[in-house]
Structure 1
Amino acid sequence: MESHKTALILIGYQNDYFSPNGILYGVIEESSKVTNVIANTVHLLQCLASTAALIITTPIFFTSNYEELIDPIGILNTIKEVNAFQMGTPGSETIEELYPFKDRIMEVPGKRGFNAFINTNLDEILKEKRITDVVLAGAVTSICIDSTGRSAHEKGYRVIILSDCTSARTVFEQGFYCSSIFPLYAEVMTHTELLSHLASSVPV
């Protein structure tokens, strides 16, 4: 892997998921604690900050009346019912642990559902930067990570999903997706394994 051809896509690193006061914190709390997602992500960002890797965040935002959601079902309906990710609210903001890297992270707006490629210009940015390897981190493992990962694979990118930087609804779900679902279209590794792959491509 080469850092200048690699993009780290951060999905869902917002207070409503990852802050103890977040509306949906309980949805992923158990899995997040087990995988130590925030600490691992911060370490990854610290290591990538000085490289040529592209770092992107794709936050999800909704207006106060959720007019963007037409007949939502499942988790999107839940988001609407509990008023999560409303634009301009503390819950929709990026978690403070990522603040030190804000000048290094490119925000790609427009995400309104599971797939970070839909309603955004993410694919155009990746192609413009000549990215070949897409690395996914964030939440929720079985929903946004899986949906975005499949889409990236179908668009021709090599997909890497970080097992210790993703959060599912349960520990079982996290393990099941990492062992049985993601390997069908992606490589699964820890953030330290990713860093090792990137380091091995740097000429000595």
Structure 2
Amino acid sequence: MKPEQTALVLIGYQNDYFSSEGILHGVIEESSRVTNVVANTVHLLECLALTPALIVTTPIFFTPNYEELIEPVGILKTIKEVGAFQVGQSGSETIAEIQPFADRILEVPGKRGFNAFINTNLQEVLQQNGIKNIVLAGAVTSICIDSTGRAAREKGYQVTVLSDCTSARTVLEQGFYCNSIFALYAEVMTHIELLNALEVVVPA
């Protein structure tokens, strides 16, 4: 893997998921604690910031009346019912831990559902930067990570999912997806294994 051909796609690093006061924090709290996802992601960003790798974030936002959601079901219905990820509210903001890297992270807006390619210009951004490898980090493992990963593979990208930089609804679910689902179409690595594959020097 070459850094200049690799994009790290950050999904769901927003307060409603990862802040202790977030509306949906309880959904991924256990898995996040076990995988140490936030600290590992910060370390990954520290190491990638000085490389040519593309780093993008695909936050999800909704208007106050959730007019974007037409007869939602499942987690999107829950998001509407509890009032999560409303534009302009603190819950939709990027978590504080990765804000220091804001000048290095390209925000790709428009995400309204599971797949980060839908309703965004992510594909155009990746093509313009000559990206061949997509690395996924964030939440939720079984939903947005999986949906985006499958779409990326179908578009011809080599896909990597970071087992220690993703969060599921349960520890069991995290293990199941990393061990049994992602292996069907992607590589599964820790962030250290990714850095080694990219030949990025990891500070001692």
TM-score interval (norm. to shorter):
over 0.9
How far 1:200 sits from its partner (Å)?
Answer: 7.1
Segments of structure 1 that go 5 or more residues without pairing to the other structure are none
Counterpart for residue 169 of structure 1: 169
Counterpart for residue 121 of structure 2: 121
- When residues 115 and 170 of structure 1 are mapped into structure 2, their CA distance, relative to the original with a 3 A threshold, is same
Counterpart for residue 82 of structure 1: 82
In 1, Cα distance between equivalents of 2:194 and 2:95: 23
In 2, Cα distance between equivalents of 1:100 and 1:14: 14
Residue 32 (structure 1) aligned with residue 25 (structure 2): no
Q: Give SS of 1:153's match.
A: helix
In 2, Cα distance between equivalents of 1:199 and 1:26: 36
In 2, Cα distance between equivalents of 1:86 and 1:114: 16
Counterpart for residue 96 of structure 2: 96
Q: Give SS of 1:102's match.
A: helix
Residue 67 (structure 1) aligned with residue 70 (structure 2): no
In 2, Cα distance between equivalents of 1:78 and 1:133: 33
In 2, Cα distance between equivalents of 1:154 and 1:142: 18
Counterpart for residue 186 of structure 1: 186
In 2, Cα distance between equivalents of 1:117 and 1:36: 27
Q: Moved runs in structure 1, 4+ residues, more than 4 A?
A: none
Residue 23 (structure 1) aligned with residue 23 (structure 2): yes
Q: Give SS of 1:87's match.
A: coil
In 1, Cα distance between equivalents of 2:96 and 2:33: 17
Q: State the aligned residue count.
A: 201
Q: Give SS of 1:138's match.
A: strand
How far 1:99 sits from its partner (Å)?
Answer: 1.1
In 1, Cα distance between equivalents of 2:123 and 2:155: 8
RMSD over aligned CA atoms reads: 0.9
TM-score (norm 2): 0.98
Segments of structure 2 that go 5 or more residues without pairing to the other structure are none
How far 1:11 sits from its partner (Å)?
Answer: 0.1
Q: What percent of counterpart residues are identical? A: 75
